[in-house]
Amino acid sequence: MLLTLVEAMRPRQWTKNAVVFAALVFDGKLLAPRYLLATFAAFVMFCLLSGAVYLINDLADVEKDRQHPIKKGRPLASGRLSPRAAAVAGAALPLFCLPLAFALEPRVGLIALGYFAENLVYSFWLKNVVIVDVLMLALGFVLRVAGGVVVVDVQRFSPWLYICMTLLALFLGFGKRRQEIVLTTGQGNATRGSLNDYSIGLLDHLIGMVTAATVMAYSLYTFSASGLPVNDTMMLSIPFVLYGLFRYLYLIHVRGEGGAPDELLLRDRPLQVALGLWGLTAIAVLYVFDFPLRQ
């Protein structure tokens, strides 16, 4: 039952919580053990909180999930996990994590509480409100980044990264909605209410707008943000961001994938290579070469 419970907490989606490390890396503190441990603790806390949210969400949607072509295989929808076990775990995890978050840093505790509350509001209400549902998903990413900012006591973390993260989350969220429509044609009422208010055409327009905005925002970050080298070498990472976005669009439009961006990252080798090269480039620019930094 324990393994089934962990499966219901969707550990594959915990990769999204890695954004909490953004402040650690881009504030130049990756090699500081104190901040590295604090950020890792925040990462674990967000993983457990998101796992509790998934349990609560699946409890609320168990009947709808049973009519979904993919979600019907989840532990609760398939009957492999009892609702009582899921309810107990869904209640116990926040009671365990939130006090630890406040002990780690009071502001982290407030952010974690806001993150948990935002996810509950999303699960029980706003996930059925068109466009607002994806905006709420983006807010969850921003709160996780903010949690990382607080624990490392940032000095040169640029606000541009909040904008880039928001736009990237919107890009992934609209792409996910598009694939959900493709998978559940004719079943919108049975799976997610907001799907009835979306259309493929609308989502394609939104994805196009957000893609362009993401590229522009990240490009502006690389040559205008404080804390980066004055010789603009961070611009060397732009091609990998471009390829990652274009690869994801290819997977959506040509391969018919994109319903679970986190799972795509775990199995699509080109995306993994692009992300790895982007990370190596950023680390090299920030840590290997001793370039003067922009104030």
Q: Collapsing DSSP states into helix, strand and coil, what is residue 228?
A: coil
* Residue 130 burial (C-beta neighbours within 10 Å; 0-12, 13-18, 19+): middle
What global pTM score does this model have?
0.88
Partners of 229 in the β-ladder: 293
Rounded to whole angstroms, the Cα distance separating 53 from 90 reads 7
Residue 188: what pLDDT? 44
Residue type, 8: A
Contacts 24+ apart (CB under 8 A), 162-167: 163/217, 163/221, 164/214, 164/217, 164/218, 164/221, 165/19, 165/22, 165/138, 165/141, 166/138, 166/141, 166/142, 167/210, 167/213, 167/214, 167/217
Residue 255: what pLDDT? 84
Residue 93: what pLDDT? 93
Per-residue pLDDT of the chain (295 residues; tens, 9 = 90+): 788 888 889 888 888 899 999 999 998 898 899 999 999 999 999 999 999 999 988 888 888 878 877 778 888 888 888 888 889 998 999 999 999 999 988 999 999 999 999 999 988 888 889 999 999 999 999 999 999 999 998 887 888 999 999 999 999 999 989 888 887 765 544 456 678 888 899 999 999 999 999 999 999 999 888 888 889 899 999 999 999 999 999 998 888 876 677 778 888 899 999 999 999 999 999 998 877 877 7
Residue 193: what pLDDT? 63
Residue 293: what pLDDT? 79
Rounded to whole angstroms, the Cα distance separating 178 from 198 reads 8
Residue 189: what pLDDT? 47
Phi and psi angles of residue 229, each rounded to the nearest 5 degrees, phi first? -60, 140
Rounded to whole angstroms, the Cα distance separating 152 from 267 reads 31
